[in-house]
Structure 1
Amino acid sequence: MTAVTGDPVRPLTLVRLSHDTVESITRAVAVECPVAIEVDGFGYAVMMMTPERLADFATGFLLTERLIDAPGDIVEIDPFAAEAGWIVRVTLAEHCRGRIHDRVRHRTSDTSCGLCGLSGLEQIARPVANRPPAPQARTATLFAALEGIRASQPLNALTGAVHAAIACDAAGATLAAAEDVGRHNALDKLVGTLARSGREADFILVTSRISYEMVDKALVAGVGMLVGISAPTSLAIDHARTQGLTLIALARADAMLVANDPHGLFRD
């Protein structure tokens, strides 16, 4: 498995305007480019994303797409640069190959894509292997994790243009983090990182709104809680409540909103 990866930032010359000056500056800009995912020779999706940690991304993406059940179901991941972007060729174990045949579909998606390769609305409700565990983190832990969030966003510190997904233990310490111009891509990278390393997180913190597919990816990651700094959608709350995932939204330095608390951890 090759470790080849792309540059996540590119310096560009821009013009900065103020009330009384015009000056030329060089700024680090987040790289966004097409990354084609090919599975067993079939084109499955084209993601607009930051082309780094592509093996982690591919692993997390295939897990959250339910094309594999574990990292061991992948025989090989081969990312390489092409003229128009990047191609990630994945070879699956024989027992998983029927899934791609059933659901293969080549499409181009933007940074908001989270449900690739689905041909109909009936496929959105995909199975979840296990019920989420009860998270161990408490209110003080969540606020502490929020205070340290910037330390896990070096790419965003350079560019101001990317999302982060951060895996934390019960004490709020960061176990792993991932960044990408797409919030779903960042979370898939994180899911892949956790799966390939065998680390288990207590909760995941994301720097974005919480939609249905973000909840779904957290369920695949096997964490007990998903925390987001922005608002949840109605379908995200419904999905979390159906599956028993603790869900915290609008997490800010002064307050946060409990959208689902199946274990009664945050009641008065």
Structure 2
Amino acid sequence: MTARPTRHPVSRIARRKGGTTSAVRIVPEETPIAFSYGGTTHAVMMATPADIEDFALGFSLSEGIIENASDISEMAVEDHDQGIDFQITLVGDRRDALTARRRHMAGPVGCGLCGIESIDEALKPVASVGSVGLRLTAGDIVQSVRLLSARQPLHNETGAVHAAGFYVPGKGIVAAREDVGRHNALDKLIGALARAGIDGASGAVVVTSRVSIEMVQKTAIIGAPVLIAVSAPTALAIRTAEAAGISLVALVRGDEFDIYTHTDRIQAGANAHVA
């Protein structure tokens, strides 16, 4: 299963020039990726088939299936004609916890409580990042988005994928991942940071998408005190960021942006520092 984008012929119409011309567009791949634990499929995600180990680790962390990377004893990729099955083996305690969780979630058809449990799961409280001492300047915010743009080779080819990066003052973007799905890109980043042993409290998450509650929840899992986005947040995302102690910065356009929560971490000026 290739992760490389595909060249596809198109008919291009330019109204000012008139007529139709033949052209070629580069488009990203979108593939079903199954995450199986102990031989049982837990979820199937439509995603870009790249950085799959980061994706598997980040998904496992963000879903609460594991608490750290050492909870996975083995990972193996099985390619199929129509997709990828990623086999994940958990250590004993985590395997038992996942089995118990599956039994708890399994209910009879038409169970009236199942919907309530699903809503509770979607709106589960996020961990607080606490009084993390990171401080960023307006210059850091602008630079983080600009540097992430330079770390998006697939988007530059296709114009059709999202990116999530991790910005550390004085170091720039230390990790970045791309995917057709914004949540997938952030899960891949979570896995990349965990594999590299990068402390989430040391920097900010930067995303190229709008900010929904899931993006805030995943940022809290990383432990990052700042979430920066080029697009707008939802009202629920703002309330969740406020409760989690996360500074939410969005609508970064050139040198302008809005700060929605915990404004004290973002300072005017060009130089960043850690309190």
Please give the TM-score of this superposition, normalised by the length of structure 1: 0.87
Q: Secondary structure at the residue paired with 1:7?
A: coil
Which ranges in structure 2 are unaligned for 5 or more consecutive residues? 107-115, 269-275
Q: What residue is the counterpart of 1:211 in the other structure?
A: 212
- Looking at structure 2, the residues matched to 212 and 132 of structure 1 have their Cα atoms a distance apart, in angstroms, of 21
Distance 1:102-1:63 versus aligned 2 partners, 3 A rule: same
The residue correspondences of 1:48-63 to structure 2 (distance < 5 A) are: 48-63=46-61
- Looking at structure 2, the residues matched to 102 and 132 of structure 1 have their Cα atoms a distance apart, in angstroms, of 34
Q: Quote the sequence identity (%).
A: 34
Q: Secondary structure at the residue paired with 1:210?
A: coil
The residue correspondences of 1:19-98 to structure 2 (distance < 5 A) are: 19=15, 20-98=18-96
- Looking at structure 2, the residues matched to 78 and 68 of structure 1 have their Cα atoms a distance apart, in angstroms, of 17
The residue correspondences of 1:106-117 to structure 2 (distance < 5 A) are: none
Q: What residue is the counterpart of 1:109 in the other structure?
A: none
**What do residues 173-196 of structure 1 show as CA deviations (whole Å, max 9, x unaligned)?**
010100000000000000100000
- Looking at structure 2, the residues matched to 16 and 36 of structure 1 have their Cα atoms a distance apart, in angstroms, of 36
Structure 1 position 17, deviation (Å): 1.6
Matching residue's letter, 1:239:
T
- CA radius of gyration, larger in: 2
Q: What residue is the counterpart of 1:113 in the other structure?
A: none
Q: Secondary structure at the residue paired with 1:46?
A: strand
Structure 1 position 70, deviation (Å): 0.6
Q: Secondary structure at the residue paired with 2:135?
A: coil
Distance 1:259-1:102 versus aligned 2 partners, 3 A rule: farther
Q: Secondary structure at the residue paired with 1:250?
A: strand
More helix by share: 2
Q: What residue is the counterpart of 1:131 in the other structure?
A: 130
Distance 1:88-1:28 versus aligned 2 partners, 3 A rule: same
Question: Contact 2:230–2:253 at 8 Å: present in 1 too?
Answer: yes
- Looking at structure 2, the residues matched to 95 and 222 of structure 1 have their Cα atoms a distance apart, in angstroms, of 24
Q: Once superposed, what is the RMSD of the aligned Cα atoms? A: 2.2
Question: Contact 2:168–2:203 at 8 Å: present in 1 too?
Answer: yes
Distance 1:264-1:204 versus aligned 2 partners, 3 A rule: closer
Matching residue's letter, 1:173:
G
- Looking at structure 1, the residues matched to 88 and 5 of structure 2 have their Cα atoms a distance apart, in angstroms, of 25
Q: What residue is the counterpart of 2:8 in the other structure?
A: 12
Matching residue's letter, 2:31:
C
Matching residue's letter, 1:242:
A
Please say if 1:145 is aligned against 2:144.
Answer: yes
Which ranges in structure 1 are unaligned for 5 or more consecutive residues? 107-117
